[in-house]
Chains A and B, each alone.
Chain A
């Protein structure tokens, strides 16, 4: 029973996932989801009811320490003698991914619970970084969580917008530069303006949502052009022409 409801919600997840993530290359989505489905079928078979049972109890991830932590970090050559550290353990984390079956509540997928659980896992790993192993690879990808699950709890405040925009600025810059690399500027101009136009549009849409963010943008631009200034220093004491059109464009940004 549980398994049916889950695959249903999974399907929903996949399809509702599409509007925002349609850009995800087909092959990859298929692959990661495919393997996820396989693993969850396996876990179901192995420990069907027990798994569902724990979901209700909302097991907390435990911080597990083998023995009192005594830092002995100076052991330069001590590849073998590592100090014992707390390890991340959670009942719902199996074979490198979250067992989605255990996140089902009232026949529905509890995405919020999943987000919280993953946040907790990352937090613990950040505090106590763990070895990455080949025997036990992490298969979980946050992209399996549908976009509305992120929106619903208003996970999208300023900081994220800013970061998204940083990516945009970066991407835009990279894009201009791509167009210029190894290519004769003049011959490429037409094509290049098209590309630039495309990005300005996208960029504009994201940008114009908030005007007060303008200051942030200024900061970003300063940051983005700092490197340009470092490079241009060699041309300062000379009246020689500049490095080329590319950095003038960068500066205008």
Chain B
């Protein structure tokens, strides 16, 4: 019964997703002349028309960012190459995606392993609060396996005409400065893997007009354009196969643990996967202690994962903020390569896919569907639009993290606040749909006073705690 309901709503989302691009376009055109008038003058009508061929763009990395970028490019009439080093790559990831991603990227329902409708937040003193009471019947957080999602997006890009290459990108030659070279090609060097040639692979080169770097946190494309570094968190995760009777509890429920024991600046999680759970944690400030935090996370979830077997251990960096440079010439970075993971929730799949698409759209538009050369100003439109659209979201989450993950009392207050239905509604709405529902000023004010009350109480208790010696 539930599935039929969800299916209906899903087709509903599909419809809206078809209209979505149009809405977005009218949105941009109405805003940009106002805000970016100065910039518009340099727009790229000066770039030459291409003779006898379409614009060639290479996308490096076949994660959510690369897959969706390549699809959009290919659909937009661009000669697209997608280079991915490992086709069955299973990126270490919690795999939680917001509901709006399913609609906006037209994801088939069968790649969603689980629909989480309950989120448990657990404070340092083990106060557990269920959030998700405000969810409507068709609303959920999707849990996907990354190898499935990534392969699906790549396949769709390929069906739309992108050439998918199994290869390891090594470096690129950037066209030298100089007027005769201004529209010269980028030469990519990569090792192509192919069943016939064996595992060693074969060195190859590829000439393209523009490059999208979607190759994740250790991006080589970023290195090639001197994009600089970002602070990063290290995230650790264990896949644990737990007995079936224990799995029942995690059927549609995810847990978030907060506390100095599980992480000084992030949270520990138990996310349900297809037939196991993912238990993990992350930190920026105390990377050396990550194993200790992982142990603590496991310990806090102990009763619920008892009898479990660890089937896989993984760790990966998570960017904290964008790289100092996200764009140079005709090379742009998207997804983790650019550094688009939110604070507080550590969410990056949706933002990777969105940034890939947005960057590709800017190229399609700037090249008039592949007919003209592009230049930096065309790509820069993507950056402008990105920051304008999502900066507020990132900022809010940064603030939340700073206020509420800073100490145990703050975390107690945070969990206490999460019991509030208004808070739940606001957070879920903004997570699921990536838009902030207009708040009710009175409720907002109450919330502000409330949160201070919670913080004051938690801090008073902390003061008492400091007096006690155990």
Chain A residues in the interface with B (C-beta under 8 A): 20-21, 23-25, 27-28, 63, 73, 76-77, 79-80, 82, 115-116, 118-127, 129-135, 137-138, 140-143, 145, 147, 150, 155-157, 159-160, 163-164, 166-171, 173-175, 177-178, 180-182, 184-186, 194-195, 198-199, 202, 223-224, 227-228, 230-231, 233-234, 236-238, 240-241, 243-247, 250
In the complex, the answer to whether A186 meets B34 with C-beta atoms within 8 Å is yes
Contact (Cβ within 8 A) A21 B453: yes
Given A137-B128, A231-B394, also A25-B308 (CB < 8 A)? no
**Distance in Å: Cβ of B86 to nearest Cβ of chain A:** 26
How far is A130 from B303 in the complex, measured between Cα atoms in Å? Answer: 10
CB distance from B239 to the nearest CB of A (A): 13
Residue ID in chain A nearest B386 by CB atoms: A243
Cβ A164 vs Cβ B122 within 8 A? no
- A195 and B395 contacting across the interface, CB-CB below 8 Å: no
Write out the residue numbers on chain A whose beta carbons fall within 8 Å of the beta carbon of B459: 159-160, 163
- 27 A–B contacts, CB within 8 A, in A order: A24-B420, A77-B310, A79-B309, A119-B461, A119-B467, A120-B468, A129-B261, A129-B300, A130-B300, A132-B122, A160-B459, A160-B463, A163-B410, A171-B447, A171-B451, A174-B396, A174-B399, A178-B392, A186-B34, A227-B398, A231-B394, A233-B324, A234-B323, A234-B326, A244-B388, A244-B391, A250-B395
Interface presence of B39 (CB below 8 A): yes
Measured CB to CB, the nearest residue on chain A to B259 is A129
- The answer to whether B322 touches A123 (Cβ under 8 A) is no
Q: A119-B461, A163-B456, A170-B402 are in contact. List 16 more A-B contacts (CB 8 A).
A: A79-B306, A80-B307, A119-B467, A122-B462, A131-B301, A131-B302, A134-B304, A143-B416, A164-B456, A181-B436, A198-B441, A223-B402, A227-B398, A231-B394, A234-B324, A247-B395
A227 touches B39 (CB 8 A): no
B178 contacts partner chain A, Cβ-Cβ < 8 Å: no
* A171 neighbours in B (Cβ, 8 Å): 447-448, 451
Cβ contacts B38-55/A at 8 Å (1 or 0 each): 110000000000000000
Which A residue's beta carbon lies closest to that of B387? A243
Q: Is the CB of A125 within 8 A of B455?
A: no
Q: Which of A25, A129, A237 has a CB less than 8 Å from the CB of B299? A: A129
Q: Are A181 and B457 in contact (CB under 8 A)?
A: no
Neighbour of A131 across the interface among B230, B300, B412, CB < 8 A: B300
Q: Is B90 an interface residue (CB 8 A)?
A: no
Among B30, B420, B445, B460, the residue within 8 A (CB) of A202 is: B445
Closest to A178 in B: B436
Cβ–Cβ contact B124 & A25, under 8 A: no
Q: Which residues of chain A come closer than 8 Å to B448, judged between CB atoms?
A: 167-168, 171, 199, 202
Q: Which residues of B contact A135 (CB under 8 A)?
A: 303
The B300-346 residues at the A interface (CB cut-off 8 A) are 300-310, 313, 320-327, 343
User: Does chain A have a CB within 8 A of B298?
Assistant: yes
Chain A contacts of B452 at CB under 8 A? 164, 167-168
The one of A82, A140, A157, A178 that contacts B302, using a Cβ cutoff of 8 Å: A82
Measured in the bound complex, the distance between the Cα atoms of B326 and A79 in whole Å is: 43
- Please give, as numbers and ranges, the residues of chain B lying within 8 Å of A123 by CB-CB distance: 465, 468, 470
B16 within 8 A of A: no
B89 near A: Cβ within 8 Å? no
Q: Check if B457 sits within 8 Å of A142, measured CB to CB.
A: yes
Q: How far is it, in angstroms, between the C-alpha of A198 and the C-alpha of B156 when the chains are bound?
A: 49
Contact with A along B121-161 (1 / 0, CB 8 A): 01011111000000000000000000000000000000000
Cβ–Cβ contact B458 & A234, under 8 A: no
Partner of A241, one of B35, B124, B125, B324: B35
In whole angstroms, how far apart are the Cα atoms of A28 and B309 in the complex?
A: 39
Q: Are B296 and A129 in contact (CB under 8 A)?
A: yes
A155 near B463 (CB under 8 angstroms)? yes
What is the CB-to-nearest-CB distance from B401 to chain A, in angstroms, rounded to a whole number? Answer: 9
Q: Looking at the assembled complex, report how far the CB atom of B249 sits from the nearest CB atom of chain A, in whole angstroms.
A: 7
